[in-house]
Chains A and B, each alone.
Chain A
């Protein structure tokens, strides 16, 4: 039920829409005419200005680069649109940048497509656009092209966003599961499960007054710091949907090796633990939007961790486990009482529409 403290398009909001249409997105804003132009100038373009976007041509023209190009795209449908620690805009920028970053690519440029529902409050749009500009600025990755469309009332969900990202991969060993060996160390760059639970708590209006905030953040800088730390990094993945459990299950599948995670070592802050208990969720399976699971070569973990700790996005980085030879290969949790249990990826719908 969309009853969050955040901004879903509620019944109340729909009523205000009728009375003050000029404060809301209207179909005419998507018509392609003069109104569209004015709308873009007033609400979409201001924070994004850069030399590649500003000509507003049919395609952005980028300077030549050396190295292999990486391209990725992601759609964002989170409800509520705004939640503690972020909103759909920040998520749309960070999600795409991070998909490039964990490949070891340097993000170069973003595209941005907004599908707005007639009646979306302009104040919400302005806040989302400001946060898109903020996150792109923080990452140093410009939005170079984009599109906006408006759909009829009840045909959208307030606001849907799609971003694509272009990055460049410098020569050198690729980050891939192929090089992972038994004994390699598994790290995570900070506290887990914050994003998914922050959104869930906001959505359900559970009446928890918690300090839970989404961790959504662009991580290309942190990746750069880790890769150039001198400690060998073999594999990176951002544990978004499916959480850390999903990533370690992938590791087992892709390498044929086992994974051991120490429950005691997992960074699970108290508000996260409490919210997860209340919702009956395992923090291992809950999404993150500002963390990376790292596989570092045996003995290299310490240097990688030091590099993380020196970076503002990696202060809470810790070692959580290791790759092991095991038959059959399983992802296992060594529990705080010294027991063992299997870690599996979640079935699918534990937290609907969190990104």
Chain B
């Protein structure tokens, strides 16, 4: 791996500062955990993108999650990351302490099974995540439909990666030379999905895996492109990612969901960036079943999570970071999620 680090350093010798956005929260964490940031030449700046599922959800969605957890008869099933996200009336963790039924699960299928085994409960699944988790939710909805389950719904917060990246770049002043693209999402949507980023926006693009060596290979491919001055779409994670993606998963997504405009934290409404349940699956929509209304995307005063997920600020630019906002006592979602940029800085990078 030393060779790769040296090659990166050589490639950067003639470059000014280059700015690479790692889109995926798992990449952010991996870059810290493996110590890669500390061995890169100083001219390589890694900035985080909108790829942490919890961090990009709007405050309105989070408040709706908390609201539904308090409804009588409801058991809320959620991925662990959502449990500590602060809402206007406290986090799910706090509400669980006050008696709300909240179960942490690793898969939407756990929630489905719970609904089947407990017909007296209203099981609501907190459906967040990108194209990585959305196919599993789609599958669960199809299963619930097949089994005629009347007590299973999803509170749908699923999002699509590409529309957000386009929105970041469209008419933007964001200085960015390339993208380190997410391995897991790309397994589903295929590396071909990013073509636009090269053709229209002339950014260097590399799909990479999550191990330290894979990440370094990805960064090397990016700086080589930059040194040559020719942006291209490369895939150094060919073991798992094909150009066309997983067509079965994509079909499943298409059967259950349709693209819809949706609100991202601090980024506003992005066209066709969400997944809406198709009309045939209306009865699995928790918003409709419980008459939930997603409120405004308001933010805690001083919190800059919205800028952090757009690569416009680093955690240390935020005056709350490490002071009023800590891992033990988080203010914004980027400090809560295990994939959050602020959490990664705080846990692995130090508060300096």
Residues of A within 8 A of B (CB): 1, 3, 11, 204, 206, 279-280, 282, 330, 333-342, 344, 347, 349
Closest residue on chain A to residue B106 by CB atoms: A204
Q: Is the CB of A1 within 8 A of B105?
A: yes
B332 nearest CB across to chain A (Å): 16
**B326-352 interface code vs A (CB 8 A; 1 in, 0 out):** 011000000000100000001111100
Within 8 Å of chain A (Cβ to Cβ): is B293? no
Closest residue on chain A to residue B216 by CB atoms: A337
Q: Is the CB of B35 within 8 A of A333?
A: yes
If A341-B32, A341-B38, A342-B349 touch, whether A336 touches B114 (CB-CB below 8 Å) is no
Within 8 Å of chain A (Cβ to Cβ): is B14? no
Within 8 Å of chain A (Cβ to Cβ): is B44? no
- Please give me the 10 A-B residue pairs with the lowest Cβ-Cβ distance, nearest first: A339-B35, A335-B35, A339-B38, A341-B348, A339-B39, A341-B35, A337-B1, A340-B38, A337-B212, A344-B347
The contact of A342 among B106, B117, B213, B347, by CB within 8 Å, is B347
Give Cα A204–Cα B106 distance, bound, in whole angstroms: 8
The contact of A338 among B39, B105, B347, by CB within 8 Å, is B39
If A11-B117, A280-B338 touch, whether A336 touches B34 (CB-CB below 8 Å) is yes
Within 8 Å of chain A (Cβ to Cβ): is B193? no
Give Cα A316–Cα B162 distance, bound, in whole angstroms: 48
Within 8 Å of chain A (Cβ to Cβ): is B37? yes
**Quick one: which of B16-37 are within 8 Å of A by CB?**
32-37
Closest residue on chain B to residue A333 by CB atoms: B35
Within 8 Å of chain A (Cβ to Cβ): is B297? no
CB pairs A–B below 8 angstroms (14 shown):
A1-B103, A1-B104, A204-B106, A206-B106, A279-B106, A335-B33, A335-B34, A335-B212, A336-B1, A337-B39, A337-B213, A339-B39, A341-B34, A349-B83
| In the complex, chain A residues whose CB is within 8 Å of the CB of B121 | none
**B112-131 interface code vs A (CB 8 A; 1 in, 0 out):** 01100100000000000000
Query: How many A-B residue contacts, CB cutoff 8 Å?
Result: 64
Give Cα A336–Cα B213 distance, bound, in whole angstroms: 10
Within 8 Å of chain A (Cβ to Cβ): is B2? yes
Give Cα A335–Cα B32 distance, bound, in whole angstroms: 10
Provide the main secondary structure of the chain A interface.
Answer: loop
If A1-B105, A341-B32 touch, whether A336 touches B212 (CB-CB below 8 Å) is yes
B29 nearest CB across to chain A (Å): 9
Q: Is the CB of A282 within 8 A of B2?
A: no
| In the complex, chain B residues whose CB is within 8 Å of the CB of A3 | 110, 113
**Quick one: which of B105-162 are within 8 Å of A by CB?**
105-106, 110, 113-114, 117
Residues of B within 8 A of A (CB): 1-2, 5, 32-39, 83, 103-106, 110, 113-114, 117, 212-213, 216, 327-328, 338, 346-350
If A1-B105, A1-B110, A204-B106 touch, whether A342 touches B348 (CB-CB below 8 Å) is yes
| In the complex, chain B residues whose CB is within 8 Å of the CB of A337 | 1-2, 5, 34-36, 39, 212-213, 216
| In the complex, chain A residues whose CB is within 8 Å of the CB of B350 | 330, 342
Given contacts A340-B35, A349-B83, 12 further A-B contacts (CB under 8 A): A204-B106, A330-B350, A333-B35, A335-B34, A336-B34, A337-B5, A337-B34, A337-B213, A339-B35, A342-B347, A342-B350, A344-B347
Give Cα A16–Cα B125 distance, bound, in whole angstroms: 31
| In the complex, chain A residues whose CB is within 8 Å of the CB of B33 | 282, 335, 341
Give Cα A347–Cα B346 distance, bound, in whole angstroms: 12
B277 nearest CB across to chain A (Å): 24
| In the complex, chain B residues whose CB is within 8 Å of the CB of A11 | 117
Give Cα A1–Cα B1 distance, bound, in whole angstroms: 41
| In the complex, chain A residues whose CB is within 8 Å of the CB of B106 | 204, 206, 279
| In the complex, chain B residues whose CB is within 8 Å of the CB of A280 | 338
| In the complex, chain A residues whose CB is within 8 Å of the CB of B212 | 335-337
B33 nearest CB across to chain A (Å): 6
Closest residue on chain A to residue B330 by CB atoms: A347
Q: Is the CB of B34 within 8 A of A339?
A: yes
Q: Is the CB of B338 within 8 A of A338?
A: no
Give Cα A333–Cα B106 distance, bound, in whole angstroms: 28
Give Cα A338–Cα B39 distance, bound, in whole angstroms: 7
Give Cα A11–Cα B117 distance, bound, in whole angstroms: 9
Closest residue on chain A to residue B37 by CB atoms: A339
Closest residue on chain B to residue A347 by CB atoms: B327
| In the complex, chain A residues whose CB is within 8 Å of the CB of B349 | 341-342
Closest residue on chain A to residue B350 by CB atoms: A342
| In the complex, chain B residues whose CB is within 8 Å of the CB of A336 | 1, 34, 212
Q: Is the CB of A1 within 8 A of B5?
A: no
Give Cα A338–Cα B4 distance, bound, in whole angstroms: 12
A262 nearest CB across to chain B (Å): 12
Give Cα A337–Cα B35 distance, bound, in whole angstroms: 7
Q: Is the CB of B2 within 8 A of A338?
A: yes
If A1-B114, A206-B106, A337-B212 touch, whether A347 touches B328 (CB-CB below 8 Å) is yes
Give Cα A334–Cα B34 distance, bound, in whole angstroms: 9
Give Cα A217–Cα B213 distance, bound, in whole angstroms: 36
A280 nearest CB across to chain B (Å): 6
Give Cα A342–Cα B345 distance, bound, in whole angstroms: 9
Give Cα A338–Cα B338 distance, bound, in whole angstroms: 24
| In the complex, chain A residues whose CB is within 8 Å of the CB of B117 | 11
A244 nearest CB across to chain B (Å): 15
B271 nearest CB across to chain A (Å): 32
| In the complex, chain B residues whose CB is within 8 Å of the CB of A206 | 106
